[in-house]
Structure 1
Amino acid sequence: MDSPPDRRPAWQKEGHEPDYRFSLANERTFLAWVRTALALLAGAVLFDQLALRPPGHSYVSVIAVLGSGIAALLTAVAYWRWKSNEIAMRHDWPLPGSKSLAVLALLLFASAALVTLVLAGWA
């Protein structure tokens, strides 16, 4: 019987298959990033719903848009990091570093500070 065609992307056929434990750990990290993005998106939806209530402050909508934008960015970065780590493991290279963590941390800090100001009634 013929085996099914290999539909994996070209980069997954390069190098050698890494230890499955490392691949699964990399996947769990990816899923943790996605969970965080989903939580941010849920928070953005909540803020959007708060913006619809009277008196309806426009800055609450800005927070909602900012949160959903960061969630989208976080999801894209999660995939990029997962793929980069997987390629590095396949070729026995050091795991790549990234400035994206610092950028995302800064964005989340700014968002949290803005939410704090809104909730405290200072904005």
Structure 2
Amino acid sequence: MEDQRRPRAVYGVGDEPDARFSLANERTALAWVRTGLGLVAGGVALTSLATFAELTVLLDVIAAVACLAGAAVAGYGWRTWRRNEIALRTGAPLPAPTALPVLAGGVVLMALVLAGYAVVSVV
């Protein structure tokens, strides 16, 4: 019987890996999606706060960056799941993670900008 799972580019390649590895790969992808959702939610919260409190456009810009970063992180989670699943199915080494340093640097940068904004607005 032919495998009907999609995407065929993933499930039509190689041999079926141990289910534990596939499920761990899926949990990791879902964690990336949750992180992306958290960034989008933070962006929505910031823009709502800026609107209700009549704050500067800077918070709207930071909110937009957070929402776009959330979309990028969720997309990265899908891409990484796909690459890792194909590697598991073909017996190839798992690809190195690439977005982790970028995400961590982005969080640090956003925290510094918001902290600087808070200090400047108090003074």
TM-score, length basis structure 1: 0.87
Correspondence for 2:80 = 81
Amino acid across the alignment from 1:46:
A
Letter in 2 for 1:83: R
- What RMSD over aligned residues (CA atoms) do the two structures have, in Å? 1.8
Q: Structure 2: which 5+ residue stretches go unaligned? A: none
**Whole-angstrom CA distance in 2 between matches of 1:56 and 1:122:** 13
Alignment of 1:51-70 (within 5 A): 51-70=50-69
What is aligned with 2:4?
6
- Using the TM superposition, give the Cα deviation of residue 54 of structure 1 relative to its aligned residue in structure 2, in angstroms: 3.9
What is the rounded CA distance, in whole Å, between the counterparts of 2:2 and 2:53 in structure 1?
A: 58
Identify if the C-alpha distance between structure 1 residues 15 and 25 changes in structure 2 by more than 3 Å, giving closer, same or farther.
same
Secondary structure of 1:14's aligned partner: coil
How much identity, in percent, do the aligned residues show? 40
Structure number having the greater helix percentage: 2
Q: Is there any run of 5+ residues in structure 1 with no aligned partner, and where?
A: none
Q: Is the 2:29–2:81 Cα contact (8 Å) retained in structure 1?
A: yes
Residues 5/22 of structure 1: CA separation in 2 closer, same or farther (3 Å cut): closer
- Residue 55 of structure 1 deviates from its aligned partner by 3.3
Give CA-to-partner distance per residue, 1:56-77, whole Å, 9 cap, x none: 2110101100100110110111
Quick one: distance in 2 between partners of 1:22 and 1:5?
Answer: 19
1:51 match: secondary structure: helix
Matched, 1:16 2:19: no
Match of 1:99 in 2: 98
Aligned residue identity for 2:83: S
**1:41 Cα deviation (Å)?**
0.8
Q: Is the 8 A contact 1:18 1:89 kept in 2?
A: yes
Q: Normalising to structure 2: TM-score of the pair? A: 0.87
Secondary structure in structure 1 of the residue aligned to 2:119: coil
1:15-53 CA-to-partner distances (Å, cap 9, x unmatched) read 001100000000001111111111111110010011112
The 4+ residue runs of structure 1 with deviation greater than 3 A are none
Counterparts of 1:100 and 1:24 in 2: how far apart (Å)?
Answer: 21
